[in-house]
Structure 1
Amino acid sequence: MKKRRLGKSDLYVSELGLGCMSVGTEETIARRIIEAALEEGINYFDTADLYDLGENEKIVGQALKDVREQIIIATKVGNRWSKNQAGWSWDPSKAYIKEAVKNSLKRLGIDYIDLYQLHGGTIEDPIEEIIEAFEELKAEGFIRYYGISSIRPNVIREYVENSDIVSVMMQYSILDRRPEEEALPLLQEQGISVVTRGPLAKGLLSDKLLEKAPEKGYLDYDYEELRSILPLLKEKVAAARSFTEVALQYNLANSAVASVIAGASSPEQVRNNAAAVRSQPLSVKEISVIKELTKANIYKEHR
């Protein structure tokens, strides 16, 4: 599988990454999914301390321990579980970040994290303090690089201007083209990579189409619009190939994107996603048709 450089780092990530949240807590099944990813040439595994009360990090670390030096582990911080574990709260304080990283390392069973990401964030956060925490963790050798997971334009701009982030994880798909207007051009200009999530728009951009369509619609699209647009997209650009191929290739067509993170609940799903990423890139004409049929929506909040 092809790899792309992550920002200005020396990390080269596979064009498809495994979103580990979906592997579940049954270790045998999770291991099969992760092993299938390795067999397909995936070297980028994304988890978070939030997933399954940290159990996800344990499972991922255990499954990858024998190939540690060949793979890239990304995890996230900022969501703090309550003492009774009934819920969590947002805590982006320097003290918590520096405490949480050690817990993640212990659960993962590793000495360093390749990419440590702030798991959300608002403009009201103590951003200078957060950046200081990440920079200290780098200097101390606990992490190699850091990034943020955010779709908020004001937050993204703040980190672009004041930090050495190498990546921004954000939702991006044919049905969610909000990053195209401002985020992707800005990040590419600054040499910061985008790692995308939600490329299949909750299954709407799979061959199941409207089977996955909620009655309330999806983002700027109401149900009737989805009924009209999805079959048209299928006819115009996915008649001779799977919709999954088209959806993943649309993300990869943007040179700001380093990797597309897709979850999988079975080895077969991993293999299908990998085949989609290896498939023929979209032509300029196909991309143009997709843009004509869909909305160039923009971020309306967090300006």
Structure 2
Amino acid sequence: MSTNETKKAQRTVKLGSAGPEVFALGLGCMGMSGMYGATDDAESVRTIQEAIDRGVTLLDTGDFYGMGHNELLVGRAIAGRRERVQVSVKFGALRGPDGSWSGVDTRPVAVKNFAAYSLKRLGVDVIDIYRPARLDPSVPIEDTIGAIADLVKAGYVRHIGLSEVGAETIRRAHRVHPIADLQIEYSLASRGPEDGIFPVLAELGISATLYGVLSRGLLTGSKPKGPGDFRAYLPRFTGSNQQKNEDAVSALQRFAHERGMTPGQLAIAWVLARQPAFVPLVGTKTRVQLEDALGALARPLSKEDVAALESLVTISGDRYASEQMKHLDSERR
């Protein structure tokens, strides 16, 4: 998709009643810090800059991606381009020197500490959207959102977001301060939010940024690339689910080929067709992957295509291992 084609396809989406206007696709930067195998910092920086030059305005990162590496990378990439982007930052996840996960900390004092380090690593004066990465079971959501609201008043944060929380938590948070958007996994393989969460967002005037739209590469046929690739431990890529999903992905690939699309473009176009008021986050690591993702904007799906694809593709397995699923507030019924 050329730059001119991108401009023709360009449209914006407003994140919540009081949130910013952003390009129809956002760039998820997590994969640039080793979560899906080897990366190249120089190519990552060029990919972010190319995305900005092509009209992408929303960059999503987390202070725990690569233990700060991802924020430093984004900071390098946006230097001289700051006024053209909105940076969304997740915080609160705790990690050890060996990369292990140690829980979540969203106490008010921790919120302000995390923000201070993020501002420094990103090289910015204000974070556009700041959000706890997960619900902290030991801290009322009102306390966490109240602390971010203090940062808004002080000028260090512009908007408040949430990530992977359920309907009741969304309501409680929104009563403290307007929420711009909920970040949550959503794809042809992960449609859970449609029933209990998306209706609440519509009721409250909250948008959503949707990650995992390719189901971590599953929908494009990508496979784990060694022990450093955390997908090797996810149910959809292992055990009896693996072969079932490979068969489903083969069907998706044939469907895409018949319509002159790549599987990635088809998966993104499905999300755009299903949730036109929300913003898919595409986790590209290279300029080639970015080019492919942007091509989805020029290839919208018809209602008939959407229905046919949904009847054709069924994905087996949870999106996380059972222990992680227990801690997802968004999965509680």
Bucket of the pairwise TM-score, normalised by the shorter protein: 0.7 to 0.9
In the alignment, structure 1 residue 5 sits paired with structure 2 residue 14: yes
Query: Quick one: structure 1 residues 238 and 205, their matched pair in 2 at CA, closer, same or farther if it must change by over 3 Å?
Result: farther
Partner of 1:21: 30
Q: Which amino acid aligns with 1:6?
A: L
**Counterparts of 2:88 and 2:331, CA distance in 1:** 28
Which residue of structure 2 lines up, in the alignment, with residue 268 of structure 1? 288
Q: Is the 8 A contact 1:47 1:75 kept in 2?
A: yes
The answer as to whether partners of 2:146 and 2:176 remain within 8 angstroms in 1 is: no
* 2:89 counterpart SS class: strand
Alignment of 1:83-122 (within 5 A): 87-122=101-136
- Show the 5 A alignment for 1:232-251: 232-236=251-255, 238-240=257-259, 241-251=261-271
Over the matched positions of the two proteins, sequence identity in percent amounts to 28
User: Of the candidates 123, 148, 152, which is equivalent to residue 138 of structure 1?
Assistant: 152
Taking the aligned partners of 1:22 and 1:43, their CA distance within structure 2 comes to 18
Residues 67 and 293 (structure 1), Cα distance of their counterparts in 2 relative to 1, 3 Å cut: same
Following superposition, the deviation at residue 136 of structure 1 comes to: 0.7
Q: Equivalents in 2 of 1:26, 1:120: separation in Å?
A: 28
1:73-84 aligned within 5 A: 73-82=87-96
Paired residues of 2:58 and 2:86 also in contact (CA < 8 A): yes
Q: CA deviation at 1:188?
A: 2.0
1:230 corresponds to which residue?
249
1:4 touches 1:258 (CA, 8 Å); kept in 2?
Answer: yes
Query: SS at 2:119's partner residue?
Result: helix
> 1:12-41, CA deviations, whole angstroms, 9 ceiling, x for partnerless residues?
111221111222475422221112212221
Change in Cα spacing, 1:218 to 1:253, as seen in structure 2 (3 Å) is farther
Q: Closer, same or farther in 2 for the Cα pair 1:58/1:301, shift >3 Å?
A: closer
- After superposition, what is the alpha-carbon deviation per residue over 1:61-109, rounded to whole angstroms, capped at 9, x for unaligned? 1220201111111111112345887654311100100111111101111
The one-letter amino acid of 1:274's match is: L
CA shift at 1:290, angstroms? 2.6
Q: Distance in 2 between matches of 1:286 and 1:85?
A: 42
> CA separation in 2, counterparts of 1:210 and 1:29?
21
Counterpart check, 1:205 vs 2:186:
no
Matches within 5 A, 1:278-297: 278-294=297-313
Deviation at residue 111 of structure 1 after TM alignment: 0.6
Query: Which of 221-230 and 114-123 deviates more?
Result: 221-230
Could you tell me how far 1:197 is from its partner in structure 2?
0.6
Post-superposition shift, 1:9? 2.6
Contact 1:171-1:199 within 8 A present in 2 as well: yes
Q: Which moved more, 1:284-293 or 1:265-274?
A: 284-293
User: CA distance change for structure 1 residues 284 and 55 in 2, over 3 Å: closer, same or farther?
Assistant: same
1:181-204 residue CA offsets vs partner (Å, 9 max, x unmatched): 121222123211110111111222
Q: Determine the structure 2 residue equivalent to 1:302.
A: 332
Q: In structure 2, what residue type is equivalent to 1:279?
A: A
Q: Distance in 1 between matches of 2:294 and 2:186?
A: 18
Aligned pair partner of 1:252 in 272, 281, 293: 272
Q: Which moved more, 1:286-295 or 1:36-45?
A: 286-295
Q: Which runs of 5+ in 1 are unaligned?
A: none
Structure 2 residue 169 is matched with structure 1 residue 155:
yes
CA contact (8 A) 2:19 2:180 kept: no
The normalised TM-score by structure 2 is 0.79
Partner Cα separation in structure 2 for residue 286 and residue 204 of structure 1: 20
User: Which residue number corresponds to residue 190 of structure 1?
Assistant: 204
Q: Deviations over 1:263-292 (max 9, x none)?
A: 22211111111122x222111111122333
Q: Secondary structure at the match of 1:52?
A: coil
Q: Is contact 1:119–1:150 with CA below 8 Å preserved after alignment?
A: yes
TM-score (structure 1 length as normaliser)? 0.87
**1:81/1:225 Cα in 2 relative to 1: closer, same or farther (>3 Å)?**
closer
- Provide structure 2 residue ranges, at least 5 long, that are not aligned to the other structure: 1-9, 34-38, 226-230, 319-328
Q: Which moved more, 1:67-76 or 1:284-293?
A: 284-293
CA deviation after TM superposition for structure 1 residue 229, in Å: 3.1
* Aligned equivalents of 2:271, 2:45: Cα separation in 1: 27
Deviations 1:234-293 (A, max 9, x none): 4445522211111101111234643211122211111111122x2221111111223333
What is the RMSD computed on CA atoms of the aligned residues? 3.1
